[in-house]
């Protein structure tokens, strides 16, 4: 093993040199790191886009260089995705959603530099931990992973769902209802057991299910931008020397080294479990931190640096974990690993036992590549932190149009259909209302991601084992871990400051209160109830899981409605694990400014549908800056021109990312090309 590890070092540093200065494999590794950092900082893209772009080019590369550029890219995407999460509350990738909950409040307090420093150092330590676990665990974990089957994987998913109660703060009913709603959203589409269409309403777009990207951007990105516009100022006043905060953040990461270690272990576990992936790893780590860190329930979500350290440690460590089943069994641990398997095929290498024997040097080359990529990526990010933190000083009305445009373009990459944009707007409105009325949003994403995984494993376990799988030893162990995790979280996750016994607990007389929060709860109840009624007409196999989840959600939502109607909000109630809504603006101004902002967003969507993205973007930016931001016309023209040039250069000519084409152009091409009644061409513009 040591010989293979030393041979791997020679593979990276001892290959023929590029321009007689830099080893060729190392130069390709650095190229992948730069691409990964760039893609991670752009909301909605992430490593999958980069891997898909690079895959054809690996045909002309030798084995070491091909794996170097690919490993370099996927190793650091979860490092730079912190940038939009902290500054704007917009998830850079699915793995940075939990970072928003504490990173964005820190930016609002002027501590963006500290958040960046803690996140980057935690990411690097997590990546190194993942590489270390990958190096030592493949031979050890192989028999353990082979012992897992559908019942065990189902229980692993249930262990993740148990985090819903933790992420709900002091609103467990709301959190469980939202989690169940997320599970139901994840069931939309074709049921592959019997071919039943569930909640598709005759729309072909929904046959393959609801995509994650527009939902995540809608739930988190749109509400944060709307609240920033409602406040109407800059994000925060950042000190001139933001690097002082970076140094403090780096110290925070080392000060909470045990949290980094535990969260990294969570990341490796999630990465090594097929079917979970990066969309939930940050929530698992965040929930673990809430359960185990003292005072977490009282401070997480308000700008606690530990809430940044935990998810950032886990989302970088997961890449090392994802490579474990990929290399040892040929089973991709994530979507990115599935693309990496394509590189194996292109290079004529079969993942599996050969990677632990004949090709062990290649395996350890990947281990060293992950470690070097994380160190190099962290160094680059730290060099740019001072400039990035200063973006929080820019007036939000100057940032809003560009961020909204990028969010629209990122959401469109899910299925490259106008349904992506409609989902973005719909879940954006839902997310903003949930935030205003104190409903936690993280459980919805967690339920959406785990829905199909849990249902598939549940169906396989029930059909193959009946009820006997409940007695499997590993199932019992995981079940005990679920119980212990919840019990331990209730004991140690309580606020660190004891409540003053001399202050009597608030008592609220039971009195009927009909208000807007109760109306919102009633709307959710009707939504879930409608789903249950619809599911009754499906075949047994297709309706079992939806009815179990839906009926549970109905009862819990009815109980929450009773609380809203007869108890109402209680002053001093503990908070939920989510970003706080903007409370410093009078209610009538909140409604007016929110309606105005959503009106601009709807106008942009309508304009894109009619004229296409290329014409709508400069028009939207110029009008917003001129009439909403009240900027001078030279600034409006210059800002619009530069933004359009960047979008064209990065998305259109470099990444070849397609964007929406206006219906007038589609109809024109349809008529001119003689499509007749067979249907119009695609509504996406590619690289041409």
Please tell me which of 46-50, 422-426, 510-514 the model is most confident about, judged by mean pLDDT. 422-426
pLDDT of residue 670: 44
pLDDT of residue 499: 41
Q: Tell me: do 277 and 409 sit in the same domain.
A: yes
pLDDT of residue 676: 39
Q: Which one is predicted more confidently, 414 or 536?
A: 536
Instruction: Indicate if the pLDDT at residue 405 is higher than 50.
Output: yes
Q: Tell me: do 486 and 600 sit in the same domain.
A: no
Instruction: Indicate if the pLDDT at residue 406 is higher than 70.
Output: yes
All residues at 6 or more sequence positions from 252 whose CB lies less than 8 Å from its CB, including other chains: 114, 117, 118, 305, 309
Instruction: Indicate if the pLDDT at residue 297 is higher than 50.
Output: yes
Say how far apart CA 76 and CA 159 lie, in whole Å: 27
pLDDT of residue 426: 93
Say how far apart CA 332 and CA 271 lie, in whole Å: 10
| Residue given tokens 């619809």 in the structure block | 534
Percentage of the residues of the chain whose pLDDT score is greater than 90 = 8
pLDDT of residue 393: 66
Q: Which one is predicted more confidently, 685 or 114?
A: 114
What confidence category does residue 9 fall into, taking pLDDT thresholds of 50, 70 and 90? low
Beta strands at 189-191 and 22-23: parallel, antiparallel or unpaired: unpaired
Say how far apart CA 205 and CA 211 lie, in whole Å: 10
Helix (H) or strand (E) holding 546: helix 540-566
Q: What is the mean pLDDT of residues 487-504?
A: 45
3-class secondary-structure state, position 55: helix
Q: Which one is predicted more confidently, 676 or 256?
A: 256
Residue 340 CA neighbour count, 13 Å, CB half: 27
Q: Which one is predicted more confidently, 183 or 155?
A: 183
Whether residue 512 lies inside any domain: the answer is no
Say how far apart CA 281 and CA 318 lie, in whole Å: 8
Whether residue 26 lies inside any domain: the answer is yes
CB 653 within 8 A of CB 420: no
**492, 521, 550 - which closes a domain:** 492
Instruction: Indicate if the pLDDT at residue 238 is higher than 60.
Output: no
pLDDT of residue 425: 92
Q: Tell me: do 70 and 198 sit in the same domain.
A: yes
pLDDT of residue 557: 92
pLDDT of residue 55: 66
**What is the torsional sign of CA 19, 20, 25, 29?**
negative
User: How many residues are listed for the chain in this entry?
Assistant: 688
pLDDT of residue 7: 60
CA 512-513-515 angle, to 5 degrees, is 155
Q: Which one is predicted more confidently, 192 or 9?
A: 192
Q: Which one is predicted more confidently, 469 or 675?
A: 469
Q: What is the mean pLDDT of residues 517-524?
A: 91
Q: What is the mean pLDDT of the chain?
A: 76
Q: What is the mean pLDDT of residues 496-500?
A: 40
Q: Tell me: do 461 and 595 sit in the same domain.
A: no
Q: Which one is predicted more confidently, 307 or 1?
A: 307
**428, 457, 492 - which closes a domain:** 492
| Of 301, 334, 293, the residue nearest 175 (C-alpha) | 301
- Domain coverage including residue 316: 2-235+242-492
Instruction: Indicate if the pLDDT at residue 291 is higher than 60.
Output: yes
Instruction: Indicate if the pLDDT at residue 529 is higher than 90.
Output: yes
All residues at 6 or more sequence positions from 243 whose CB lies less than 8 Å from its CB, including other chains: 113, 385, 386
Q: What is the mean pLDDT of residues 455-482?
A: 83
pLDDT of residue 100: 86
Instruction: Indicate if the pLDDT at residue 354 is higher than 80.
Output: no
Whether residue 9 lies inside any domain: the answer is yes
What confidence category does residue 555 fall into, taking pLDDT thresholds of 50, 70 and 90? very high
Q: What is the mean pLDDT of residues 114-135?
A: 85
Instruction: Indicate if the pLDDT at residue 522 is higher than 90.
Output: yes
Q: Tell me: do 594 and 479 sit in the same domain.
A: no
Q: What is the mean pLDDT of residues 3-18?
A: 56
**What is the torsional sign of CA 407, 411, 417, 423?**
negative
Whether residue 564 lies inside any domain: the answer is no
All residues at 6 or more sequence positions from 385 whose CB lies less than 8 Å from its CB, including other chains: 113, 116, 117, 120, 242, 243, 246
Q: Tell me: do 55 and 186 sit in the same domain.
A: yes
Q: Tell me: do 291 and 175 sit in the same domain.
A: yes
Q: What is the mean pLDDT of residues 301-314?
A: 88
| Range of lowest pLDDT (86-90, 153-157, 336-340, 374-378) | 336-340
- Per-residue pLDDT tens over the stretch 564-620: 888 755 444 445 656 666 666 777 788 888 899 899 999 999 998 888 888 888 899
Q: Which one is predicted more confidently, 550 or 64?
A: 550
- Per-residue pLDDT tens over the stretch 46-93: 666 667 666 656 766 777 778 788 888 877 777 777 888 887 777 777
CA 29-30-34 angle, to 5 degrees, is 120
Q: Tell me: do 307 and 173 sit in the same domain.
A: yes
Per-residue DSSP letters for 331-378?
--SSHHHHHHHHHHHHTT---SGGGGTTTHHHHHHHHHHHHHHHHHHH
Whether residue 185 lies inside any domain: the answer is yes
What confidence category does residue 683 fall into, taking pLDDT thresholds of 50, 70 and 90? very low
Whether residue 518 lies inside any domain: the answer is no
Say how far apart CA 222 and CA 77 lie, in whole Å: 22
CB 194 within 8 A of CB 542: yes
Q: Which one is predicted more confidently, 502 or 282?
A: 282
Whether residue 357 lies inside any domain: the answer is yes
Q: Tell me: do 200 and 322 sit in the same domain.
A: yes
Q: Tell me: do 482 and 605 sit in the same domain.
A: no
pLDDT of residue 56: 59
Helix, strand, coil percentages (3-state) for the chain, rounded to 5, are 70, 5, 25
Instruction: Indicate if the pLDDT at residue 675 is higher than 50.
Output: no
3-class secondary-structure state, position 460: helix
| Tokens standing for residue 510 | 């039971």
Instruction: Indicate if the pLDDT at residue 186 is higher than 70.
Output: yes
**What is the torsional sign of CA 505, 511, 514, 518?**
positive
Helix (H) or strand (E) holding 438: none
**492, 525, 547 - which closes a domain:** 492
Q: What is the mean pLDDT of residues 460-465?
A: 82
Q: Tell me: do 472 and 611 sit in the same domain.
A: no
What confidence category does residue 648 fall into, taking pLDDT thresholds of 50, 70 and 90? confident
> For the chain, how many structural domains are there in total?
2
Beta pairing partners, 22: 18
Question: How far out from the chain centre does Cα 635 lie?
Answer: 34
Whether residue 505 lies inside any domain: the answer is no
């Amino acid at each position: 093993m040591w010989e293979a590890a030393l041979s791997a070092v020679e593979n990276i540093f001892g290959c023929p040199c590029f321009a007689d200065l830099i080893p060729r494999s190392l130069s390709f590794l650095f190229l992948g790191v730069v691409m990964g950092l760039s893609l991670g900082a752009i909301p909605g893209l992430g490593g999958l886009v980069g891997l898909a772009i690079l895959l054809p080019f690996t045909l002309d590369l030798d084995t070491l260089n091909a794996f170097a550029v690919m490993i370099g890219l996927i190793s650091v995407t979860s490092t730079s995705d912190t940038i939009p999460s902290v500054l704007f509350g917009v998830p850079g990738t699915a793995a940075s959603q939990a970072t928003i909950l504490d990173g964005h409040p820190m930016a609002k307090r002027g501590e963006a530099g500290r958040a960046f420093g803690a996140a980057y150092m935690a990411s690097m330590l997590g990546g190194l931990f993942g590489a270390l676990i990958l190096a030592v665990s493949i031979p050890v974990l192989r028999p353990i992973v082979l012992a897992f089957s559908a019942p065990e994987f189902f229980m692993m998913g249930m262990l993740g769902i148990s985090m819903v109660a933790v992420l709900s703060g002091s609103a467990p009913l709301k959190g469980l209802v939202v989690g169940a709603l997320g599970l139901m959203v994840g069931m939309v589409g074709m049921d592959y057991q019997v071919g039943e269409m569930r909640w598709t309403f005759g729309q072909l777009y929904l046959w393959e299910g609801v995509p994650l990207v527009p939902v995540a951007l809608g739930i988190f990105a749109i509400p944060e931008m709307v609240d920033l516009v409602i406040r109407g100022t800059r994000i925060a006043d950042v000190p001139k020397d933001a690097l002082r905060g970076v140094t403090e953040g780096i110290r925070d990461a080392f000060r909470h080294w045990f949290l980094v270690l535990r969260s990294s272990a969570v990341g490796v576990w999630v990465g090594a479990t097929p079917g979970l992936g990066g969309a939930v790893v940050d929530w698992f780590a965040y929930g673990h931190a809430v359960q185990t860190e003292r005072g977490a329930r009282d401070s997480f979500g308000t700008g606690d640096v530990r809430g940044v350290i935990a998810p950032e440690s886990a989302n970088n460590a997961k890449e090392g974990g994802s490579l474990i089943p990929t290399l040892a069994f040929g089973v991709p641990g994530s979507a990115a690993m599935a693309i990496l398997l394509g590189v194996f095929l292109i290079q004529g290498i079969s993942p599996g036992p050969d990677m632990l024997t004949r090709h062990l040097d290649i395996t350890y080359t990947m281990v060293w590549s992950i470690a070097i990529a994380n160190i190099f990526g962290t160094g680059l990010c730290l060099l740019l932190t001072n400039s990035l933190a200063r973006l929080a000083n820019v007036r939000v009305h100057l940032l809003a149009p560009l961020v909204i445009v990028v969010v629209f373009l990122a959401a469109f990459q899910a299925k490259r259909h106008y349904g992506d944009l409609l989902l973005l707007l719909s879940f954006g409105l839902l997310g903003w209302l949930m935030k205003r009325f104190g409903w936690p949003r993280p459980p919805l994403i967690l339920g959406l991601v785990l829905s199909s995984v849990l249902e598939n494993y549940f169906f396989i376990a029930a059909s193959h084992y009946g009820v006997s799988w409940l007695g499997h030893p590993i199932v019992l162990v995981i079940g005990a871990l679920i119980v212990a995790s919840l019990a331990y979280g209730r004991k140690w996750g309580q606020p660190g400051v004891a409540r003053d016994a001399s202050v009597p607990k608030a008592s609220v007389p039971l009195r009927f209160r009909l208000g807007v929060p109760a109306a919102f709860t009633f709307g959710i109840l009707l939504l879930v109830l409608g789903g249950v009624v619809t599911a009754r007409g499906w075949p047994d196999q297709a309706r079992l899981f939806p009815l179990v989840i839906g009926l549970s959600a109905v009862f819990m939502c009815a109980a929450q409605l009773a609380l809203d109607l007869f108890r109402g909000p209680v002053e001093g109630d503990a908070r939920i694990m989510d970003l706080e809504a903007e409370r410093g603006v009078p209610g009538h101004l909140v409604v007016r400014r929110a309606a105005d902002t959503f009106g601009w967003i709807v106008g942009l969507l309508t304009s894109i549908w009619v004229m296409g993205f290329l014409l709508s973007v400069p028009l939207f930016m110029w009008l917003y800056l001129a009439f909403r931001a009240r900027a001078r016309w030279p600034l409006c023209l210059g800002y619009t021109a530069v933004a359009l040039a960047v979008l064209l250069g990065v998305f259109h000519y470099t990444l070849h990312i397609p964007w929406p084409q206006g219906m007038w152009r589609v109809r024109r091409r349809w008529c001119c090309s003689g499509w007749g009644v067979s249907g119009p061409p695609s509504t996406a513009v590619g690289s041409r």
